[in-house]
Amino acid sequence: MTDELQNRDEQEDTMPGEVIQFHIVLFECAMNVFKALLEETGTNRTLEAIRPLNKYAGGILASQAKGRFDLKRIDAEAVAMPYYWCHTGTSGGYIKPMEIRDGKAIVELNFCPTLVINARPEACIAISHYAAEGICEAVNPDYEYIFTHHLSKGDDCCRYVVKRKSDKFSLYNLGRVERTVPVPRLSLEEQYLISTLVCFGQLGIMTSASVGLIGSERTMEVGAPLARETGLRIGNELKGSGAEKSDLSIVRDKLDFICSALGQSGTPATITDSSIEKEITDCPLQEYYTQFPFWPQGIPEVCKHLEGVLNGVCEAINPDYEFAYDRMKTKGDANCHWVIKKKAERAKEETKKEAPKIVRV
């Protein structure tokens, strides 16, 4: 058995499969926004906007790891540990024990969620490289991460070396192995924490960077086709091979399932006349984002992107209907509330709203 497979098998209870699936969907949404922003503003401007946000995220990860491992040292192992811990979770356990070689820490993993969603290679810089800078600043700024291999670029692994900035480094001579550091065993709580930091965090960071660069309206406009594409794929997977349109009860059950998998809670989705509605009282996305000083009320553009995804799901299951939020916590409402209606009915409602009033004199 390889080191990676053994480490994967030795992990404790794992998150439910549907939760993992929809956390990856959130990460896919983050990469949708990232891809659209790259195409809209170019690589340099996009990365410049994301860098300070992911450095901040790296600092948060370092703080979490310090508490988890009681890090009192400031050597290469201590600087590498926050990412080693994080990547144990994001790699699904497909990670080798950290090696300490001549005072340097070396980590190698064989799976990355960017591969599942075919993310742009620039995502490795935007996320991993910049978060690593934040980790170094938080633990020991005399050290640095050197990324030598990337799965997203066709390498057989992702590998990084943590070393003092003043130390010499050769890709062809990493030094002798002094010892190895066992792969952390992750509790179920830690798996949720890491998944939240990565999936929720990156969706917020990419969206926030986009809004800062091109504004809210344009962010939603350029991201809409990708959100719909993601939703159509999910909807077709949930619907199965049947080609016929599903009735309202199927639409209700699938959308309720997605909300539950995303950790949202509230009233059950109910069918009234020819529509479906649901109130969301608690949402982990809202709770997560409001922890940060720059997102005091959350990020409404994240909710709008998810609205586009869920509308795509609805369209795939029954194209006669569409999904929309009519209330959002991130816009100041007490709770979130969504409604699924026939497209024709919603179009009539919009026409009535826009119709000019006749003033009689």
Please report, in tens digits, the pLDDT of each residue of the chain (361 residues total). 355 544 544 545 665 667 778 888 999 999 999 999 999 999 999 999 999 999 999 999 999 898 888 777 789 999 999 999 999 999 988 999 999 999 999 999 999 888 888 889 999 999 999 999 999 999 999 999 999 999 988 899 999 999 999 998 888 888 889 999 999 998 888 888 888 888 899 999 999 999 999 999 999 999 999 999 999 999 998 887 665 667 888 899 999 999 988 889 999 999 988 899 999 999 988 888 888 888 888 899 999 999 999 999 999 999 999 999 999 999 999 999 999 999 887 666 666 655 555 554 4
SS3 content of the chain, % helix, strand, coil (to 5): 55, 15, 25
What tokens appear for 56 in the block? Answer: 């901040």
> What pLDDT is stored for residue 293 in this prediction?
83
DSSP symbols for 23-66? HHHHHHHHHHHHHHHHHHH-HHHHHHHHHHHHHHHHHHHHHHHH
> What pLDDT is stored for residue 5 in this prediction?
43
> What pLDDT is stored for residue 243 in this prediction?
54
What tokens appear for 167 in the block? Answer: 């130390």
**CA dihedral of residues 141, 122, 184, 188 (deg, nearest 10):** 120
> What pLDDT is stored for residue 313 in this prediction?
95
> What pLDDT is stored for residue 1 in this prediction?
36
pTM equals 0.87
For the domain made up of 3-191, give the CATH fold: Muramoyl-pentapeptide Carboxypeptidase; domain 2 (3.30.1380)
DSSP symbols for 262-315? TT-EESPPEEETTEEEEEEEE-HHHHHHTTSTT-TT--HHHHHHHHHHHHHHHH
Q: Is 249 left (phi over 0), alpha (psi -120 to 50) or beta?
A: alpha
Identify the CATH class of 215-352.
alpha beta
Q: How far apart are CA 27 and CA 34, in angstroms?
A: 10
List the chain domain ranges: 3-191, 215-352
CB neighbours of residue 272 within 10 Å: 8
> What pLDDT is stored for residue 191 in this prediction?
87
- The domains spanning 3-191 and 215-352 adopt the same CATH topology: yes
